[in-house]
């Protein structure tokens, strides 16, 4: 016995908590995002871009460059950062000792400044400070460095004087105008350097960090980053298992990035300094610890809710309701986890631990808070868009599959629209629910033609205005503002190593008497380059830095416009922002091209409609003014249609008005020529049809009303003089015609429609097939058939259910072609049978359809006639039209590109398929789906349910189904009545009834097992079914496919629904065979038919059977006996 890994308290699903303050709040946020998903995504993206610009605003105007300043200013990069103070005196026993910032106020204050040059340094002229004190040059251990000792108060003036230093030889440039000088690196603006310089600087800083870091720290950071990227990979794999290869995972990362931006700006506004090095070290561990489990949980819940609603086929359900249901189920769990994590991080931020932990915990807490908000707004809107895209994909795939199967575009579009989930039901402006047969429904609302353009204009305008506002206000903002991500030197500048930098210099400065305090500053690095125009000055107190703070006085001299343009141009220098602008421009270009095409089509259609309306109004006015003198009028006669005149699709008001006016025949013909046939009254339409002015097949197109066209056709047929003696009753017959969707019929199922034929549908079962229970729908007029099949289902279920095996799947089409002589025909056969012919024909065939894939080609030669049998998969469609199109193109390629231009195509179907005819080729090689179904019935079940025994059933099956069919020379008819079940299921599920001929090919085998049970199996090699196209597009037949769970195309694996339907049919045939053979073995057939289908006569009893009649009757004897009894029964 295997024990569970977790206790039941953790594995069982708990009921929702009684106190839940989180779910109502997140449901409100999610509801707003679901109602307006595009608006939510765009607004949050705009806020994120605005935040990003705010983070980079200082770099846009070169105000965040590294500055040399002194004092306590936190907004500037100060030389005092990282400096150290050492003192010598009596207190230190005349030895240098590091001290803090306080003390030794009365001691002599000196500063020790080191100037660092590259290795190729060749000297310069030593500068002298501007005031009277002369800086002392103290010895240095390295030739490339010069150390100055000077009074502390003269640091600013000295730094200003050494911002540029001449070289020793003062070389001239080639132009002779400029001199290359030693320039202080920190005196230049980082923003003004080239991208190569920035990259080099970044690499050097990274190398310095690596060199100064401990190997253990490097290993930990490597593992951290590796784990973070593995977390990203896990996110993509999880989303892929949920059905999204890239986009959902990418939007989760995008949402987390937005949360980081919002948290960064919030942390900065609250005055908490953030360091880039600290972020680079802490974020990987935050990502690994928190992970992306919450978006995955929400995604899985949303997809499960949508699938559940899709299976229930709830008419009022929508994508938004599925998302809200998922939020209601998982909202508390997700928010609870967020709250716990934020509380833990808040405790870390409130702790007194130094070294950046408090700041990072503060930032991480805000990241999780914004991530929670964006999960139920931004990402929820993304999920709504994803489900809407999936709906559109299913719609387009089903429509294209139907079109490939030969269904007209209009019918295919109607079927795809009615079969999709959610149904296109939208709320109008008055709040009422309207079906979306006209127009387009997106996110549960009807979209007008102008809505897309208006929304796009508003979106682009808003984006432009927000960014223009940000750029325009940058010059007016606080000059001392800094970037959110502070410079590395602001909080993470390492303290200077006093003894390494100035060890020998301090020994040189040992005083003779009196205490001395020396401030050892960080070294200043130089590089050889052409100098810039000017460099600002430095100061000790930080108010006047080397670069200087931004002064807005020149703004009013140069004008606001120049500053805005300058800011706009400099913003394009940002690496991330420039790439996003390029991507946005490319997407906008593509979208504009698509929308312009759509607008061109809509404008063209609108203009044509407007012109047609204007012409109709003008002609109607002209007809009213110049009404011709009536010559021959159409008068209403007594209608023989009978019944209520109301129809499911009512005629317009204009029809009733015009019918009373009594137009002349000429006026009615004029309406037909003007394409205004829908304005004709019923009487006028009937009269014109009888006069052959309206063809019978064109009534639907002329009247633009399918139900009315069926009614008119019935009247026309009833009143046709040539057949009036036989068809006069059709107009008032009980053949129904109302309340039927003829739009699906026309162009797909039937022509010249006069109504529909109702068939009783019964349910057999349930039947367990491959571990799954099904009710079997059967449309039939044969009594006892459904009851008999139900009894077989009961016996099979008692034995554990039926097991099916699919042995083949391939529809066939066998064209016949002719050649001038046998040699050419034989050469063509050999070429097709070879690898080259198979490969070329397969390539040509597969190019004609997304679903049809050629499996094999067989050939047969009869004289100069060559029969080619194409075998191919067809997805979930039965596929005859799909294959025919592929066969035509393959033969065309063969005759034009493969050297068989003398080949003549006799027929695309040469009866070598073979379709709708019994044929040994189908029985041997199979056609459609080949299925074998088996069941084992215990002996006691055979006796109790089937009222027979195993030995009798085995003997009857051998004598009747095997030997009897062989004696009759049957092909594939080694069964009792497989055609009964196959035909009933075909009619119920919208299959082609004529294909019952080959689909009913079946051999029933019965054996007695060692345990004494009955083993029964049916092998059916030619089940030709589909779940899309043909009669499956009709709603009643589609409802029966829904009952079996196989309606339409399979969502992920095309063909699975059709194969599943074939398995169900084979299992149902198994049940029917078992029940009928049991009735024959027990002699119950006639009695069951009489009990279920015949009324018991009141006057006389049935004639008794002769005493020597055997118990096991043959079918002919039973039928003769039944006919004899019927002849003796008086008419009721």
Average pLDDT score, the chain: 75
pLDDT over 60 (residue 253): yes
Contact 685, 703 (CB under 8 A): yes
Contact 391, 420 (CB under 8 A): yes
Percent above pLDDT 90 for the chain = 27
CATH label, 761-809+926-1093, candidates 3.90.770.10, 3.90.870.10, 3.40.120.10, 3.60.21.10:
3.90.770.10
- Relative orientation angle of helices 1085-1093 and 1115-1128, to the nearest 10 degrees: 40
- How far is it, in rounded angstroms, from Cα 794 to Cα 456? 62
Domain boundaries, the chain: 17-52+212-389, 84-202+497-549, 579-625, 761-809+926-1093, 815-907
Res. 577 pLDDT band, cuts 50 70 90: low
pLDDT over 50 (residue 238): yes
pLDDT over 60 (residue 537): no
**How high is the pLDDT of residue 441?**
53
Count of CB atoms within 10 A of residue 825's CB? 21
- How far is it, in rounded angstroms, from Cα 1081 to Cα 1090? 18
- The number of C-alpha atoms within 13 Å of 699 and in the hemisphere containing its C-beta is 29
- Does domain 17-52+212-389 bear CATH number 1.20.1640.10? yes
- How far is it, in rounded angstroms, from Cα 1042 to Cα 1045? 5
In this structure, the chain runs to a length of 1132
Q: Map residue 283 onto helix, strand or coil.
A: helix
pTM, whole model, 2 decimals? Answer: 0.61
Instruction: Select, from the ranges 128-137, 142-151, 859-868, 1116-1125, the one with the highest average predicted confidence (pLDDT).
Output: 859-868
Res. 1063 pLDDT band, cuts 50 70 90: very high
pLDDT over 50 (residue 966): yes
User: Where is 1045: in which H helix or E strand?
Assistant: none
**How high is the pLDDT of residue 391?**
79
**How high is the pLDDT of residue 187?**
43
**How high is the pLDDT of residue 610?**
46
Q: Tens digit of pLDDT for each residue in 436-485?
A: 444 455 555 555 545 556 666 666 676 677 667 766 665 555 544 444 44
Which of the pair, 433 or 586, is modelled with greater confidence? 586
Which of the pair, 1072 or 1103, is modelled with greater confidence? 1072
Q: Tens digit of pLDDT for each residue in 1002-1050?
A: 999 999 999 999 999 999 999 999 999 889 989 999 999 999 999 988 8
Please give the average per-residue pLDDT across 359-374, as a whole number: 86
pLDDT over 80 (residue 249): yes
**How high is the pLDDT of residue 779?**
96
Give the list of residues 6+ apart from residue 275 with CB closer than 8 angstroms, or none: 356, 359, 485, 486, 488, 490, 491, 492
From the list 337, 1089, 1121, 1125, the catalytic residue is: 1089
**Cα-Cα-Cα-Cα dihedral sign, residues 614, 615, 620, 624:** positive
Instruction: Report the first-to-last Cα separation within the chain, whole angstroms.
Output: 69
DSSP state, 959?
Answer: I
**How high is the pLDDT of residue 173?**
46
1089 is catalytic: yes
**How high is the pLDDT of residue 1111?**
38
Which of the pair, 1076 or 1131, is modelled with greater confidence? 1076
Q: What phi and psi values does residue 515 have, to the nearest 5 degrees?
A: -80, 145
Res. 3 pLDDT band, cuts 50 70 90: very low
Which of the pair, 46 or 942, is modelled with greater confidence? 942
> Rg (Cα) of the chain, in Å, rounded?
45
pLDDT over 90 (residue 833): yes
**How high is the pLDDT of residue 831?**
94
**How high is the pLDDT of residue 79?**
65
Q: Tens digit of pLDDT for each residue in 654-680?
A: 344 444 457 888 888 888 888 888 888
Q: Tens digit of pLDDT for each residue in 1036-1047?
A: 999 999 999 999
Which of the pair, 281 or 646, is modelled with greater confidence? 281
- How far is it, in rounded angstroms, from Cα 1028 to Cα 1030? 7
Res. 408 pLDDT band, cuts 50 70 90: confident
Please give the average per-residue pLDDT across 1052-1078, as a whole number: 94
Contact 136, 148 (CB under 8 A): yes
pLDDT over 80 (residue 933): yes
From the list 154, 420, 544, 992, the catalytic residue is: 992
Please give the average per-residue pLDDT across 727-742, as a whole number: 91
**How high is the pLDDT of residue 937?**
95
Q: Tens digit of pLDDT for each residue in 749-800?
A: 899 999 999 999 999 989 999 999 999 999 999 988 999 999 999 999 999 9
DSSP state, 179?
Answer: B
**How high is the pLDDT of residue 1095?**
47
Nearest residue to 884 (alpha-carbon basis) of 832, 813, 818: 813
Res. 221 pLDDT band, cuts 50 70 90: confident
From the list 669, 782, 888, 1125, the catalytic residue is: 782
* Region of residue 749 (left: phi > 0; alpha: psi -120 to 50; beta: else): alpha
HEC profile of 498-525: HHHHHHHHHHHCCCCCCCEEEEECCCEE
Nearest residue to 876 (alpha-carbon basis) of 1029, 1036, 1044, 1031: 1029
**How high is the pLDDT of residue 124?**
55
**How high is the pLDDT of residue 439?**
46
Please give the average per-residue pLDDT across 13-29, as a whole number: 67
From the list 395, 916, 1007, 1050, the catalytic residue is: 916
Helices then strands, counting H and E runs in the chain, come out as: 39, 26
992 is catalytic: yes
- How far is it, in rounded angstroms, from Cα 1024 to Cα 879? 9
Q: Tens digit of pLDDT for each residue in 886-924?
A: 999 999 999 999 989 999 999 999 999 989 998 999 999
Which of the pair, 165 or 587, is modelled with greater confidence? 165
Nearest residue to 41 (alpha-carbon basis) of 339, 377, 483: 377
Contact 911, 839 (CB under 8 A): no
Q: Work out whether strand 440-442 and strand 772-779 pair parallel, antiparallel, or are unpaired.
A: unpaired
- How far is it, in rounded angstroms, from Cα 934 to Cα 1019? 9
**How high is the pLDDT of residue 41?**
85
**How high is the pLDDT of residue 893?**
94
CATH label, 815-907, candidates 3.90.226.10, 3.30.70.420, 3.30.2320.80, 3.40.50.880:
3.30.70.420
Which of the pair, 313 or 271, is modelled with greater confidence? 271
Q: What phi and psi values does residue 932 have, to the nearest 5 degrees?
A: -120, 130
- How far is it, in rounded angstroms, from Cα 791 to Cα 1085? 13
**Cα-Cα-Cα-Cα dihedral sign, residues 65, 68, 74, 80:** positive
**Chain centroid offset of residue 122 CA:** 67
DSSP state, 533?
Answer: S
Q: Among 522-526, 574-578, 834-838, whose mean pLDDT is lowest?
A: 574-578
Res. 63 pLDDT band, cuts 50 70 90: very low
Res. 301 pLDDT band, cuts 50 70 90: confident
- Please give the full DSSP string across 816-831, using - where no structure is assigned: EEE-SSHHHHHHHHHH
Count of CB atoms within 10 A of residue 171's CB? 12
- Please give the full DSSP string across 63-120, using - where no structure is assigned: -SS---B-SS-SSS-BTTTT-EEEEESTTTTTS-EEE-SSS-TTSEEEEEEEEE--TT
Q: Tens digit of pLDDT for each residue in 586-642?
A: 665 655 554 455 444 444 444 454 455 555 555 555 554 555 544 555 555 444 444
**How high is the pLDDT of residue 61?**
35
- Please give the full DSSP string across 609-642, using - where no structure is assigned: HHHHHHHHHHHHHHHHHTPPPPSSBPPP------
**How high is the pLDDT of residue 977?**
94
DSSP state, 17?
Answer: P
Distances in Å between the alpha carbon of 643 and those of 682, 712, 863? 15, 14, 63
């Amino acid at each position: 016995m295997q024990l569970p890994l977790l206790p039941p308290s953790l594995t069982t699903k708990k009921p929702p908590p009684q106190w839940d303050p989180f779910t109502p709040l997140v449901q409100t946020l999610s509801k707003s995002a679901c109602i307006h998903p595009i608006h939510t995504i765009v607004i949050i993206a705009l806020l994120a871009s605005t935040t990003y610009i705010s983070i980079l605003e200082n770099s846009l105007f070169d105000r965040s460059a590294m500055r040399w300043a002194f004092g306590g200013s936190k907004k500037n990069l100060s030389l005092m950062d990282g400096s150290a103070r050492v003192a010598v005196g009596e207190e230190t026993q005349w030895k240098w000792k590091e001290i803090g910032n306080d003390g030794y106020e009365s001691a002599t204050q000196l500063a020790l400044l080191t100037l660092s040059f590259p290795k190729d340094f060749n000297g310069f002229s030593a500068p002298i400070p501007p005031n009277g004190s002369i800086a002392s040059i103290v010895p240095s251990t390295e030739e490339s460095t010069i150390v100055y000792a000077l009074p502390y108060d003269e640091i600013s003036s000295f730094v200003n004087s050494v911002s540029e230093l001449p070289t020793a030889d003062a070389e001239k440039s080639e132009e002779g105008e400029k001199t290359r000088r030693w320039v202080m690196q920190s005196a230049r603006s980082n923003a003004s350097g080239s991208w190569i310089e920035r990259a080099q600087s970044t690499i050097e800083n990274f190398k310095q960090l690596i060199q100064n870091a401990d190997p253990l720290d490097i290993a930990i950071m490597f593992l951290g980053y590796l784990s973070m990227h593995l977390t990203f990979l896990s996110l993509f794999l999880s989303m892929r298992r949920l059905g999204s290869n890239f986009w959902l995972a990418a939007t989760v990362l995008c949402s987390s990035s937005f949360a980081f931006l919002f948290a960064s700006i919030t942390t900065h506004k609250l005055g908490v300094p953030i360091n880039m090095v600290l972020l680079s070290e802490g974020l990987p561990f935050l990502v690994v610890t928190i992970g992306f489990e919450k978006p995955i949980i929400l995604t899985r819940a949303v997809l499960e809710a949508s699938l559940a609603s899709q299976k229930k086929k709830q008419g009022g359900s929508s994508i938004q309701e599925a998302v809200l249901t998922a939020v209601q189920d998982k909202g508390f769990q997700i928010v609870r986890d967020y709250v716990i994590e934020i509380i833990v991080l808040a405790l870390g931020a409130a702790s007194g631990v130094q070294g950046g932990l408090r700041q990072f915990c503060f930032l991480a807490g805000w990241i999780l808070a914004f991530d929670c908000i964006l999960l139920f707004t931004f990402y929820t809107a993304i999920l709504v868009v994803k489900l809407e895209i999936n709906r559109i994909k299913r719609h387009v795939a089903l429509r294209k599959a139907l079109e490939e199967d030969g269904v007209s575009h209009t019918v295919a579009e109607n079927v795809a629209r009615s079969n999709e989930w959610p149904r296109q039901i939208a709320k109008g402006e008055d709040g009422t629910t309207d079906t979306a047969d006209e127009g387009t429904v997106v996110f549960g609302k009807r979209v007008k033609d102008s809505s897309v353009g208006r929304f796009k204009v508003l979106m682009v305008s808003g984006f432009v205005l927000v960014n223009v506002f940000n750029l325009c206000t940058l010059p007016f903002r606080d000059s001392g503002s800094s970037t959110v991500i502070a410079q590395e030197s602001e909080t993470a500048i390492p303290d200077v190593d006093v003894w390494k930098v100035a060890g020998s210099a301090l020994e040189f400065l040992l005083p003779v008497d009196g205490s001395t305090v020396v401030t050892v500053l960080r070294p200043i690095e130089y590089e050889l380059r052409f100098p810039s125009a000017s460099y600002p000055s430095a100061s000790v107190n930080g108010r006047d830095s080397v670069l200087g703070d931004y002064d807005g006085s020149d703004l009013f001299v140069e004008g606001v416009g120049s500053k805005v343009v300058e800011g706009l141009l400099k913003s394009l220098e940002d690496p991330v922002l420039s790439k996003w602008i390029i991507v946005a421009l490319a997407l906008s270009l593509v979208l504009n091209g698509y929308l312009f095409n759509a607008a061109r089509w809509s404008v063209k259609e609108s203009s044509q409609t407007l012109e047609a309306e204007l012409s109709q109004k003008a002609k109607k006015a002209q007809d009213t003014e110049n009404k011709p003198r009536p010559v021959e009028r159409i008068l209403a006669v007594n209608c023989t249609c009978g019944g209520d005149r109301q129809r499911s699709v009512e005629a317009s008001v204009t029809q009733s008005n015009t019918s009373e006016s009594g137009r002349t025949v000429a006026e009615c013909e004029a309406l037909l020529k003007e394409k205004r046939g829908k304005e004709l009254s019923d009487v006028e339409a009937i009269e014109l049809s009888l006069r052959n002015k309206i063809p019978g097949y064109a009534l639907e197109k002329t009247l633009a009303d399918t139900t009315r066209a069926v009614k008119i056709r019935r009247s026309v047929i009833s009143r046709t003089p040539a057949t009036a003696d036989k068809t006069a009753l059709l107009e008032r017959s009980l053949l129904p015609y109302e309340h039927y969707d003829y739009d699906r019929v026309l162009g797909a199922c039937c022509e010249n429609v006069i109504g529909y034929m109702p068939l009783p549908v019964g349910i057999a079962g349930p039947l367990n097939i491959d571990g799954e229970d099904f009710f079997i729908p059967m449309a039939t007029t044969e009594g006892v058939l459904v009851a008999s099949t139900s009894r077989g289902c009961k016996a099979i279920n008692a034995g554990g259910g039926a097991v099916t095996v699919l042995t083949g799947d391939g529809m066939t089409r066998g064209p016949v072609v002719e050649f001038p002589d046998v040699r050419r025909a034989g050469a063509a056969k050999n070429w097709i049978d070879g690898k080259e012919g198979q490969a070329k024909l397969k390539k040509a065939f597969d190019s004609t359809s997304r679903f049809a894939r050629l499996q094999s080609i067989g050939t047969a030669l009869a004289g100069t006639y060559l029969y080619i049998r194409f075998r191919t998969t067809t997805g979930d469609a039965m596929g005859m039209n799909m294959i025919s199109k592929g066969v035509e193109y393959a033969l065309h390629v063969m005759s034009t590109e493969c050297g068989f231009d003398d080949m003549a195509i006799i027929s695309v179907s040469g009866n070598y398929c073979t379709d709708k005819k019994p044929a040994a080729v189908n029985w041997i090689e199979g056609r459609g789906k080949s299925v074998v179904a088996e069941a084992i019935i215990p002996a006691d079940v055979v006796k109790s349910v089937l009222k027979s025994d195993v030995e009798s059933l085995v003997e009857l099956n051998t004598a009747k189904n095997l030997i009897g069919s062989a004696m009759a020379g049957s092909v594939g008819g080694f069964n009792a009545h497989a055609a009964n079940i196959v035909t009933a299921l075909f009619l119920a599920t919208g299959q082609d009834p004529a294909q019952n001929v080959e689909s009913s090919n079946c051999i029933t085998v019965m054996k007695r097992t060692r345990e004494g049970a009955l083993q029964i199996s049916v092998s059916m090699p030619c089940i030709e079914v589909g779940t899309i196209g043909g009669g499956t597009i009709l709603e009643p037949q589609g409802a029966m496919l829904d009952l079996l769970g196989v309606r339409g195309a399979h969502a992920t694996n095309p063909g699975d629904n059709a194969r599943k339907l074939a398995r169900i049919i084979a299992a149902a045939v198994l049940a029917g065979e078992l029940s009928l053979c049991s009735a024959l073995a027990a002699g119950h057939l006639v009695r069951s038919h009489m009990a279920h289908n015949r009324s018991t006569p009141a006057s006389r009893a049935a004639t008794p059977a002769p005493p020597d009649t055997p118990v096991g009757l043959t079918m002919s004897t039973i039928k003769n006996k039944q006919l004899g009894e019927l002849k003796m029964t008086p008419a009721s």
